[in-house]
């Protein structure tokens, strides 16, 4: 009898241990056991930074970079699709741990969220219909109809153009469609994204007016109180120095990456002139 009781105790103890092991296993992400799960928001309507393929999978420069950062920092990434305009409030509310979405580091945004060191040198450009001859530069945009993405730096820039009539859209494909339909005269948006779409035949009938309007830098955003920013910044430094960044840049842009500053040169939106155009064809 005593022996039987002892066996029962042993069985219960073993079952308990088994349950504990199963519980521990299932609470861990399967891809990288032991890694911290990082929920990362992205708006996959922005070629070639974040795009959703027909099968639902995400791809793009930002997606590759975030995965490389995660591998270096020991995170497992779970991407969450979110409209660009809602990203900052979602970060603030702590519903995601970070966001990567071609987000420009601006003094205004830095008041409410944190940014990593710059990971991409970008800028705004004017796009018009291919047959348009009269919009050549910023001056010719006065009083024109302009389409922009809601909540973007392009939208902020458009507000500074005298008498411009601004239409706002949720995503890139929509505002370019409006331009093609003839509802607006121009789009102000991120130069790299527009040029990529034109060069890859995804945007037909549209051209970019040569001057860049601004110099901007993209950063990975987190809430102000994020415990992950140091790890993210260290991982960016690692992928920049070990050749991974260069590989990803070349994969998407077929060009050498430019030098990146350690911190963004902030200040009023920097106006550039034709001489500083940086498109690599
Ligand atoms: N760089 C611009 C900004 O920060 C636009 C980024 C749009 N990104 C996107 N995934 N839709 O305002």
- Domain holding 204: CATH number? 3.40.190.10
130 shares a domain with 73? no
Residue 12 maps to a domain? no
The residue range of the domain holding 227 is: 37-121+217-253
User: Nearest-5° angle of CA 181, CA 194, CA 206?
Assistant: 35
A 10 A CB-CB count for 196 gives 20
Confidence at residue 33, expressed as pLDDT on a 0 to 100 scale: 64
Tokens found for residue 178: 């409006």
Ligand 1 residue neighbourhood (C-beta within 6 Å): 43, 45-46, 50, 84, 101-104, 149, 152-153, 190
**42 CA distance to ligand 1 middle (Å):** 10
Q: What is the enclosing helix (H) or strand (E) of 165?
A: strand 165-169
CA–CA dist 49, 104 (Å, integer): 13
Would you report the helix, strand and coil content of the chain in percent, each value rounded to 5? 35, 25, 40
Residues 50 and 184 in one domain: no
User: How many CA atoms does the CB half-sphere of 14 hold within 13 Å?
Assistant: 6
- Which of 48, 58, 66, 101 has most ligand 1 atoms within 8 Å of its beta carbon, as the pocket-test mutant? 101
Give the distance (Å) from ligand 1 centre to CA of residue 49.
10
Cis peptide leading into 244, omega within 30 of 0?
no
Domain boundary among 208, 234, 263: 208
87 and 128 together in one domain? no
As a whole number of angstroms, the distance between CA 163 and CA 200 comes to 34
Q: Name the helix (H) or strand (E) containing 188.
A: strand 186-190
pLDDT tens sequence for the chain (281 residues): 455 555 666 655 556 545 555 554 444 444 566 789 999 999 999 999 999 999 999 999 999 999 999 999 999 999 999 999 999 999 999 999 999 999 999 999 999 999 999 999 999 999 999 999 999 999 999 999 999 999 999 999 999 999 999 999 998 789 999 999 999 999 999 999 999 999 998 899 999 997 799 999 999 999 999 999 999 999 999 999 999 999 999 999 999 999 999 998 876 445 554 333 333 32
- Inside any domain, residue 101: yes
Determine, yes or no, domain membership for 277. no
Does 98 lie in the same domain as 225?
yes
Q: Please indicate, yes or no, whether residues 245 and 115 belong to a single structural domain of this protein.
A: yes
Same domain, 228 and 194: no
**3-state per-residue secondary structure call for 26-75:** HCCCCCCCCCEEEEEEECCEECCCEEECCCCCEECHHHHHHHHHHHHHCE
Same domain, 102 and 142: no
What predicted TM-score, i.e. pTM, was given to this entire model?
0.85
Does 265 reside within a domain? no
Ligand 1: which of 62, 84, 88 to mutate, judged by most atoms within 8 Å of the beta carbon? 84
Helix (H, G, I), strand (E, B) or coil at 272: coil
Please tell me the total count of domains within the chain: 2
Distance between CA atoms of residues 190 and 95, nearest Å: 27
């Amino acid at each position: 009898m005593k022996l039987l009781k002892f066996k029962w105790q042993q069985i219960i103890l073993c079952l308990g241990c088994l349950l504990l092991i199963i519980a521990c296993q299932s609470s861990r992400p399967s891809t990288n056991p032991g890694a911290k799960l990082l929920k990362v928001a992205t708006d996959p309507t922005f070629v070639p930074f974040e795009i959703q393929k027909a099968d639902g999978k995400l791809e793009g420069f930002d997606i590759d970079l975030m995965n490389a950062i995660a591998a270096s920092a020991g995170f497992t990434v779970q991407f969450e699709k979110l409209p660009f305009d809602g990203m900052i409030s979602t970060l603030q509310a702590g519903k995601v741990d970070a966001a990567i979405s071609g987000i420009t580091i601006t003094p205004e945004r830095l008041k409410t969220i944190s940014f990593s060191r710059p990971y991409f040198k970008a800028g705004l450009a004017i796009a018009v219909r291919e047959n348009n001859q009269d919009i050549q530069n910023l001056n010719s945009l006065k009083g024109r109809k302009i389409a922009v993405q809601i909540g973007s730096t392009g939208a902020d820039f458009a507000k500074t153009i005298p008498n411009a009539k601004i239409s706002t859209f949720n995503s890139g494909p929509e505002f370019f469609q409006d331009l093609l339909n003839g509802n607006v005269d121009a789009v102000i948006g991120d130069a790299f994204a527009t040029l990529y779409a034109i060069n890859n035949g995804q945007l037909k009938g549209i051209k970019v007016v040569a001057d860049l309007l601004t110099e901007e830098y993209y950063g990975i955003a987190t809430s102000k109180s994020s415990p992950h920013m140091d790890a993210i910044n260290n991982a960016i430094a690692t992928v920049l120095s070990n050749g991974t960044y260069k590989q990803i840049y070349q994969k998407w842009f077929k060009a050498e990456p430019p030098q990146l500053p350690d911190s963004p040169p902030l200040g009023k939106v920097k106006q550039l002139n034709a001489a500083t155009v940086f498109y690599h064809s």
